[in-house]
C-alpha cells in the first residue's frame, strides 16, 4: 500500500504517480507493506529514504520529474539495513541493485557507481552496464571485491565504444576512439 504525504499530494501529477507506481511494481519485496512517498526536505539531492519507516522523499523542485532511476534508487534503500535487509548497505551497492532490478531504472546514469561517461552517452551503454551489475551481484557470493571488478568492467565496456568520457578526476575528456582493427586486404 502506498501513502502520499500532504506535500506530495499537493504536487503530485498523474505522470509522476504513474512513474512511482510503475517503479514500486518492480519491488515485490515491498508488496503489501505501507510505503510512504513524500517530498525531499533537502533540496540539494534528487531523493532521500528512511528505510526504518519505509519512506522515500523525491525532490520535485529540480527541473523535470524524478526519473525512474531516482525513484528506484530510493526504493532500493528500503531493502537495505534499517529496512528489509535484503540488499547490502552503501550508495554504490544501492546503484548496483537498482540497475540490476529492471531496465526501467536505466533511464538515467547512476549517481554513485562510477560510470565515467557523460550523461548524453549513458543511453548507449546502459544495457551493458545493467548486465554487468547483474553479473557483479552473482559474483558477490564468492568475490568480496565485486564492486572493483564491476567498475573495471564498466571502464572496459566504455573504452572501445568511442563515447564522450570523463577523465579520472571527473573532468570532461575527449571521446575515446574505438581500437583500430586490422582487416587484411582482400584481392579480387
Q: Over the stretch 28-49, which tens digit does the pLDDT of each residue have?
A: 999 999 999 999 977 778 999 9
CB atoms within 10 A of CB 182: 4
**For residue 1, is pLDDT > 70?**
yes
CB within 8 Å of 154: residues ≥ 6 apart = 113, 114, 115, 116, 129, 132
pLDDT of residue 51: 97
Tell me what pLDDT residue 160 has: 73
In the structure grid, which three cell numbers stand for residue 147, read together? 564492486
Long-range CB contacts (< 8 A, 24+ apart) of 123-126? 124/161, 124/163, 125/157, 125/158, 125/161, 125/163
The CA-CA-CA angle for residues 62, 165, 66, to 5°, reads: 20
CA–CA gap between residue 179 and residue 181 (Å, rounded): 6
Q: Cα separation of 121 and 143, whole Å?
A: 30
pLDDT for the residue 181:
27
Contacts (Cβ under 8 Å, ≥6 apart) of 49: 55, 56, 57, 74, 75, 77, 78
C-alpha cell, 188 = 579480387
Model confidence at 52: pLDDT above 90 = yes
For 127, residues 6+ apart whose C-beta sits below 8 A from its C-beta are 103, 106
Alpha-carbon gap, residue 24 to 14, rounded angstroms: 15
Average pLDDT, the chain: 87
pLDDT over threshold 70, residue 111: yes
pLDDT, position 118: 86
pLDDT over 70 percentage in the chain: 85
Q: Please report the pLDDT score of residue 185 as a whole number.
A: 29
Q: pTM score, two decimals? A: 0.85
Look at residue 38 and give its three-state secondary structure. strand
182 pLDDT higher than 60: no
Amino acid at each position: 500500500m502506498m501513502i502520499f504525504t500532504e506535500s506530495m499530494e499537493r504536487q503530485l501529477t498523474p505522470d509522476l504517480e504513474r512513474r512511482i507506481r510503475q517503479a514500486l511494481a518492480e519491488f515485490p519485496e515491498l508488496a503489501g507493506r505501507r510505503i510512504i512517498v513524500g517530498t525531499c526536505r533537502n533540496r540539494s539531492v534528487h531523493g532521500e529514504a528512511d528505510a526504518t519507516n519505509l519512506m522515500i522523499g523525491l525532490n520535485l523542485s529540480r527541473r523535470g520529474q524524478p526519473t525512474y532511476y531516482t525513484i528506484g534508487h530510493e526504493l532500493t534503500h528500503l531493502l537495505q539495513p534499517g529496512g528489509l535487509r535484503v540488499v547490502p548497505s552503501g550508495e554504490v551497492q544501492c546503484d548496483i541493485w537498482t540497475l540490476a532490478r529492471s531496465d526501467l531504472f536505466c533511464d538515467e546514469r547512476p549517481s554513485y557507481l562510477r560510470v565515467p561517461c557523460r550523461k548524453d552517452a549513458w543511453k548507449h551503454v546502459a544495457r551493458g552496464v545493467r548486465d554487468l551489475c547483474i553479473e557483479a551481484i552473482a559474483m558477490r557470493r564468492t568475490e568480496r571485491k565485486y564492486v572493483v571488478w564491476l567498475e573495471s568492467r564498466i571502464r572496459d565496456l566504455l573504452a572501445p565504444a568511442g563515447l564522450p568520457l570523463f577523465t579520472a578526476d571527473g573532468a570532461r575528456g575527449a571521446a575515446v576512439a574505438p581500437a583500430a582493427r586490422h582487416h587484411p586486404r582482400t584481392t579480387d
